[in-house]
Every structure is written in C-alpha cells, then in structure tokens.
Chains A and B, each alone.
Chain A
Amino acid sequence: QLQLQESGPGLVKPSETLSLTCTVSGGSISSSSHYWGWIRQPPGKGLEWIGHIYYSGTPYYNPSLKSRVTMSVDTSKNQFSLKLSSVTAADTAVYYCARSSSGGDYFDYWGQGTLVTVSS
C-alpha cells in the first residue's frame, strides 16, 4: 500500500522560505509514470493546487504561486520536495503531498497533511 508522509518545520517566519519534504513508501517514486504533487488548505478554507512534478520531467506550478515555488525529486531517497519563498501569513495552511495519475489529472493517494504557520 502506497503511503506518503510530509515533514518539515511547522513554523516559518515571514519573508523566509517554507521547505517541506514528502517521503513515499510502498512504491518507487521513479518506477511508474505518475506525477507527484502538493496541495494546500488554509484553515477553514478550500483546497488549492500548488503544483506537481514528474520524477524526470518539467514541473507544473500554479500560475499564482509560480514565482515563489520550486519543486524537486530525490529518487535516491524516494522523496520529493516543496520550497515556497517569501512567505506571508496568507501562506499559513495545511500542506498535503499526493500522488497524481499518469495524466496528472487527479490525486489518488494523499499524505495526512502538515500544518505550516507563518508567524514571527
């Protein structure tokens, strides 16, 4: 059974960079044709797609976040990562990592989510 687990600091200061890692177990991040993505959810609000990446291909980012987002894959550790720069309080959210279909059009496996709070 595929499992995903987010990890990273739960508190980030304004203007700094948020960094999260998703560790995949129960399957190889590079052995299939799936994409790997990030979605966030501000407290009490809806879901927002951040982006997703193929292990060896071009990432796709939300246009509204594109200037601040970087995603990467580490196949040796079976992990993929998210960096979001110049954060503000508006970036406070639960961040989920998820596996996307081979076409990238839906997320079928999700991590449990991790709350990241932006505050000084």
Chain B
Amino acid sequence: QSALTQPASVSGSPGQSITISCTGTSSDVGGYNYVSWYQQHPGKAPKLMIYEVNNRPSGVSNRFSGSKSGNTASLTISGLQAEDEADYYCSSYTSSSTPSWVFGGGTKLTVL
C-alpha cells in the first residue's frame, strides 16, 4: 500500500490561484470517486476541505475546489489568503489489497 504522490511544496501570492496534485493508480484515485483533501495548520488536527473528489463540507470556502482526471486528483485554491498557508493532504480509498485507505505525503503551501 503506497502513499499517494503529492508535490512537497507549492507557493503563491495573495489573490493568486494554486493547484496541488495527488497522483495514484487505477486501484485508488483512478478507480474510485473517493478522494478527499485535508488542511492542517501547525500543531492542529487536519480539517476536511473536499470529499468525494469535488464536494465541499458546509462551512468550507468556495475558494477551495477539487477535481480528478485519470489517476490524478487536484485541489485548487483560488484567491489565496494568508490563512491558507498550511499543509494539505489528499486521501483515497484503495483496493490494492484488502479494502483500505491511503494518504498522500502532504504538500506545504506557502503564501508569499
């Protein structure tokens, strides 16, 4: 069960848009619409930002959006704000062995 692949870091200026990719295989990201994204600020618990590829939980800004193409899922943040600076993790259901779930390695977003 391998972790999903994310870039280690991305950056952007306030007001800009950035995209974080999450690459898996046909056994996880590509095979199911069960991709979720989490935001984690230092010393805090992760917070659900996107579920089932492109759904936002109540209370999450519409500046956050998700998509998927093939084996790669993406999180886009538009209108970057200073408070968006955090670590972001993707997660997916995987059927590679027994039913299980896997996280990406995480991406550090820096708002310049």
For the complex formed, measure the closest distance between the CB of A87 and the CB atoms of chain B, giving whole angstroms: 20
Enumerate chain B interface residues (CB-CB to A < 8 A). Answer: 1, 3, 32, 34, 36, 38, 44-48, 51-52, 57, 89, 91, 93, 97-106
CA–CA, A108 and B99, complex, Å: 19
Indicate if the CB atoms of A105 and B52 lie closer than 8 Å: yes
Indicate if the CB atoms of A106 and B48 lie closer than 8 Å: yes
Indicate if the CB atoms of A60 and B100 lie closer than 8 Å: yes
For A26, the chain B residues whose CB sits under 8 A away are: none
Indicate if the CB atoms of A49 and B105 lie closer than 8 Å: no
Stretch with Cβ within 8 A of B (4 or more), from A17-25, A70-78, A110-118: A110-118
CA–CA, A39 and B43, complex, Å: 15
Indicate if the CB atoms of B91 and A63 lie closer than 8 Å: no
Looking at chain A's contact residues, the main secondary structure is: loop
We find that the number of chain A residues with CB closer than 8 angstroms to chain B is 23
Indicate if the CB atoms of B3 and A108 lie closer than 8 Å: no
Asked, given contacts A62-B1, A105-B36, A105-B93, whether A47 binds B46 with beta carbons under 8 Å apart, the answer is yes
Tell which of A49, A103, A111, A112 touches B91, judged by Cβ atoms closer than 8 Å.
Answer: A49
Indicate if the CB atoms of A60 and B89 lie closer than 8 Å: no
CA–CA, A7 and B52, complex, Å: 30
Indicate if the CB atoms of B103 and A46 lie closer than 8 Å: yes
For the complex formed, measure the closest distance between the CB of B33 and the CB atoms of chain A, giving whole angstroms: 9
Asked, given contacts A49-B103, A60-B100, A62-B100, whether A105 binds B34 with beta carbons under 8 Å apart, the answer is yes
Given A60-B99, A112-B45, 4 more A-B residue pairs with CB atoms under 8 Å apart are A47-B103, A63-B98, A101-B51, A110-B45
